[in-house]
Structure 1
Amino acid sequence: MTNPLALIIEDDPYLATIFAEALQIAEFETQVVPDGRAALAQLTTITPAVVILDLHLPGVSGQMILQQIRADKRLAKTRVLLATADALLAETLQEQADLVLLKPISFHQLRDLAKRLRPPDITGSG
């Protein structure tokens, strides 16, 4: 079985790298998208198991992306983790997200969460 896909939507290249490395250690394939418009386009072609979503992005806000993910039946099983330093905005979106992570987020914190969020392996019997 191939590793599940994690889409990292983060405009800070340093944080995006940390998120990607933590998720790769937890055996996710990763793709990084640095702006909202590109993220919306990417989400029409892939079905990630997990999305790490910054709320303050260039182009289209993370809040709008979250609404699009939740409105798309194809993405119904996608787990969304909001990553933001904006505690007030995070609180208003908490019910729409699977988890809210307040920045700064440590490498170890994200790696451990990613391991818990991995979908179960599907093995055939026969």
Structure 2
Amino acid sequence: MTRPQVLVVEDEAPQREVLAYNLQAEGFDVREATGGDAALDLAREEPPDLILLDWMLPGVSGLEVCRRLKSAPGTRSIPVIMLSARSEEIDRVRGLETGADDYMVKPYSVAELIARVRTQLRRVRPSSVGERLTFDDLTVDTGGHRAFRDGVELRLGPTELRLLITFMERPGRVWSRDQLLDRVWGRDVDVDSRTVDVHVGRLRKALRVSSMKDDPIRTVRGAGYSLE
């Protein structure tokens, strides 16, 4: 499973570098943007798992970036933690009402920031923090790297397990082959999209072997796969 990706949007280089260094040390994949327009482009082209967003940015403000992200279907579910030197209650309220999922006042504790990042990721990508996943008769112990159906352990290879975790984190979501390649194999791995079909087929076979029921993975013609 690829590492959780955090987009850091901060125009002040020292603060951006400190954030990136500490997030990478905690096992996160970090991308950086110095302005609002760049942040919007990056978030739309390759949605991260979470965004750390400074309020005061050149050009488009962090507040406006947050508003646009939360009003667009493709990015509205991305958690946003707003970072700001504005400490008044009215400013916190403005940030949260714009759609931010959390608000931290500068200067902040890096340890607390990391803890809040993990809290938000637990909601949208629970496997990244070792949470146990359940869906219908399926259970995955992400910390122990074991999966079960109707209480019977599944015989899965590492790739099939990563695929199942991806599907179980977002039941009902249709994943394209390219999205699955990015999420399961990683963005920098040169793998043909047909490889996805092969491993989905293996996962389906393992799910059927362990249960009399049909496998719960649905093929969406022209789009990809989903867990139903």
* TM-score, scaled relative to structure 2: 0.51
Query: Is 1:63 equivalent to 2:63 in the alignment?
Result: yes
Query: What's the counterpart of residue 30 of structure 1?
Result: 30
Q: Residue type matched to 1:94 in 2?
A: L
Query: What's the counterpart of residue 108 of structure 1?
Result: 111
| Structure 1 residue runs without a partner (length 5+) | none
Question: In structure 2, what is the Cα distance between the partners aligned to 1:31 and 1:8?
Answer: 6
> What is the root-mean-square deviation of aligned Cα atoms in Å?
1.8
- How far apart are residue 15 of structure 1 and its match? 1.1
Question: In structure 2, what is the Cα distance between the partners aligned to 1:82 and 1:40?
Answer: 15
Moved >3 Å (runs of 4+): none
- Farther-moved stretch of structure 1 (55-64 vs 13-22): 13-22
Identity of aligned residues (%): 26
For 1:70-101, what per-residue CA distance to the aligned partner results, in whole angstroms no more than 9, with x for missing partners? 01111132100000011243321223211000
Count of matched residue positions in the alignment of Structure 1 and Structure 2: 126
Describe the SS at the equivalent of 2:107.
Answer: coil
- Does the aligned pair in 1 maintain the 2:44–2:74 contact within 8 Å? no
Describe the SS at the equivalent of 1:56.
Answer: coil
| Structure 2 residue runs without a partner (length 5+) | 128-141, 143-161, 165-202, 207-228
Larger radius of gyration: 2
Query: Is 1:98 equivalent to 2:98 in the alignment?
Result: no
Q: Residue type matched to 2:63 in 1?
A: Q
- 1:76-87 → structure 2 map (5 Å cutoff): 76-87=76-87
Query: What's the counterpart of residue 89 of structure 1?
Result: 91
- Farther-moved stretch of structure 1 (5-14 vs 18-27): 18-27
Describe the SS at the equivalent of 1:82.
Answer: strand
- Does the aligned pair in 1 maintain the 2:70–2:77 contact within 8 Å? no
Q: Residue type matched to 1:38 in 2?
A: A
Question: In structure 1, what is the Cα distance between the partners aligned to 2:120 and 2:3?
Answer: 12
Candidates 126, 130, 141, aligned match of 1:120? 126
Query: What's the counterpart of residue 176 of structure 2?
Result: none
Query: What's the counterpart of residue 72 of structure 1?
Result: 72
- Farther-moved stretch of structure 1 (43-52 vs 22-31): 22-31
User: Highest relative contact order (Cα 8 Å, sep 6+), 1 or 2?
Assistant: 1
Question: In structure 1, what is the Cα distance between the partners aligned to 2:63 and 2:77?
Answer: 18
